[in-house]
Amino acid sequence: MTVRTRFAPSPTGYLHVGGARTALFSWLYARKHGGKFVLRIEDTDLERSTPESVNAILEGMTWMGLEYDEGPFYQTDRFNRYNEIIQQLLDDGHAYRCYCSKERLDELRETQMAAKTKPRYDGHCLKNKADDVDAPHVIRFRNPVGGSVIVNDLIRGKVAISNDELDDLIIRRTDGSPTYNLTVVVDDMDMNITHVIRGDDHLNNAPRQINILNALGAEAPIYAHVPMILGDDGSRLSKRHGAVSVMQYRDDGFLPEALLNYLVRLGWSHGDQEIFSIDEMISLFDINDVNKAPSSFNTEKLEWLNQHYIKESDPAHIASLLSPHMGDLGIDPSQGPDLVEVVKAQQERANTLVEMADISQFFYKDYDDFDEKAAKKNLRPVAAEPMQKIREALAALTEWSEDTIHTAIHDVADALEVKMGKVAQPLRVAVVGRAASPGIDVTLFLVGQDACLRRIDRALAYIEARANETTGN
């Protein structure tokens, strides 16, 4: 038996991290067992499904690198097949027409809730035949009475649910469209899905689906219900927690490998290992090791992983990903130092690409204003002399390289008999506008001779203005 898993989102929004993790687990399971991973779009809810959502989901899957072997299949293309099955169930007495109005059902539900019992359909139309068979109606699956259904879940273990808890669910709406519980069953059966790995909000649906499968004489797949992901604050993940869309993470400067690594460790672990390459995930992942309890999304840990991958990745690769973020800041990286060199200088200093873009702006354009604290601390009158000397030394350089810059700065420090910090730090603030930057040599080198001299002049003017301010009138 070859393993076949699937990811079956409904296109009613973007791909969020919860769905992405479910997809990842499903994908890993298929890859690990040399099976197939199928993508199916569950768009039977005509009201809420949109093509934009389909695109968003596809885009998210692509960005994450979760390539599917078959699909995407659309359920809206398969209505004939569903109707065929519904007819079969009707013919076999496993389903029946129900003419109850929504009003009657609402009332029934309210009464039952008020009586503190679980709301269930009362089987009214099973007992009473309608006068007009063709009057508007839905079709209900006739759930077995008595006994219980056992879901043998790879993650939860054996879960038993009494058939008396289940009612006769609607499998076809008044408008003739099939509903979720019917379509999943038919699709999983037709697509030969062997392992259904999905969110545990579906655990309650499994018994119903198994019953339908039994009525159809089909074998049930193996289930694995993965726990939900909660937000940073432990509540249910939602839009209010900020970036829940996978694509939002891309826009926020995260690498797909970081998100993948983060997600695979959420609810699953392999001893003390934190870093997993894709290949390691595939070889080490075991659905049996997935935790039962829900886990909270922790952005700080994701950032740590992101920094790790930024640090470890090929600078040229990071540069290509960084480029659009520079663009967002109005910077054209081709006008200035080689972005790859900038990445090498910043690689250990940014949690996200957005952050890297921000701290790299000064390589391409003069800063707007000095960082107030940095300027106050470093651009003081005592810095004027060394700064002036440095300016002269740098201006005199005929060869602009990290080595020559390094020597020039050290020579000035030696001549003045002061520590490097006394000259380098004011110089840094002068050139980058703030207190933090990569090493001073490479920073100056990449900024370029002209820009360095221009900015040093600006700092000297600032120091002078400040001196006048404090001394006089």
Partner RNA sequence: GUCCCGUUCAUCUAGAGGCCUAGGAUAUCGCCCUUUCACGGCGAGUACAGGGGUUCGACUCCCCUACGGGACGCCA
Of 63-102, which residues contact RNA (CB under 7 A)?
100-102
3-state secondary structure of 332: coil
Of 322-351, which residues contact RNA (CB under 7 A)?
348-349
Give me the least distance between CB of 328 and RNA, in Å please: 22
Closest CB to RNA among residues 181, 323: 181
Contact 11, 54 (CB under 8 A): yes
Give, as one character, the DSSP assignment of residue 128.
Answer: S
Strand order in the sheet with 70-74: 70-74, 36-41, 4-7, 195-199, 222-226, 148-153, 157-162
Contact 442, 345 (CB under 8 A): yes
Candidate residues 436, 461, 465, 467; the one interacting with RNA per rule CB under 7 A: 436
For residue 393, give the H/E element and its range.
Answer: helix 381-396
Give Cβ neighbours of residue 48 (< 8 Å, ≥ 6 apart): 10, 12
Euclidean distance between CA atoms 121 and 112, whole angstroms: 10
292 binds RNA (CB under 7 A): yes
Candidate residues 6, 94, 250, 428; the one interacting with RNA per rule CB under 7 A: 428
304 binds RNA (CB under 7 A): yes
415 binds RNA (CB under 7 A): no
58 binds RNA (CB under 7 A): no
Of 118-157, which residues contact RNA (CB under 7 A)?
118-120, 138, 156-157
Q: Tell me which stretch binds RNA (CB under 7 A): 85-93, 124-132, 188-196, 296-304.
A: 296-304
Candidate residues 219, 439, 457, 467; the one interacting with RNA per rule CB under 7 A: 439
Candidate residues 291, 320, 401, 468; the one interacting with RNA per rule CB under 7 A: 291
Candidate residues 4, 261, 441, 455; the one interacting with RNA per rule CB under 7 A: 441
Give Cβ neighbours of residue 324 (< 8 Å, ≥ 6 apart): none
Q: Tell me which stretch binds RNA (CB under 7 A): 216-224, 299-307, 335-343, 388-396.
A: 299-307
Cis peptide before 136 (omega within 30 of 0): no
165 binds RNA (CB under 7 A): yes
Of 9-38, which residues contact RNA (CB under 7 A)?
9-10, 12
For residue 162, give the H/E element and its range.
Answer: strand 157-162
Q: Which amino acid, 56?
A: A
Closest CB to RNA among residues 83, 295: 295
Candidate residues 200, 252, 257, 355; the one interacting with RNA per rule CB under 7 A: 200
Interstrand relation of 195-199 and 138-141 (parallel, antiparallel or unpaired): unpaired
Candidate residues 7, 27, 68, 180; the one interacting with RNA per rule CB under 7 A: 180
The string of DSSP letters for 264-305 reads HTSS---TT-----HHHHHHH--GGG--SS-EE--HHHHHHH
- Told to judge if 239 belongs to the known catalytic residues of this protein, a careful annotator would answer yes
Candidate residues 84, 92, 289, 403; the one interacting with RNA per rule CB under 7 A: 289
The one catalytic residue in 32, 36, 158, 239 is: 239
Give me the least distance between CB of 277 and RNA, in Å please: 16
Instruction: Give the residue numbers annotated as catalytic, written as ranges.
Output: 239
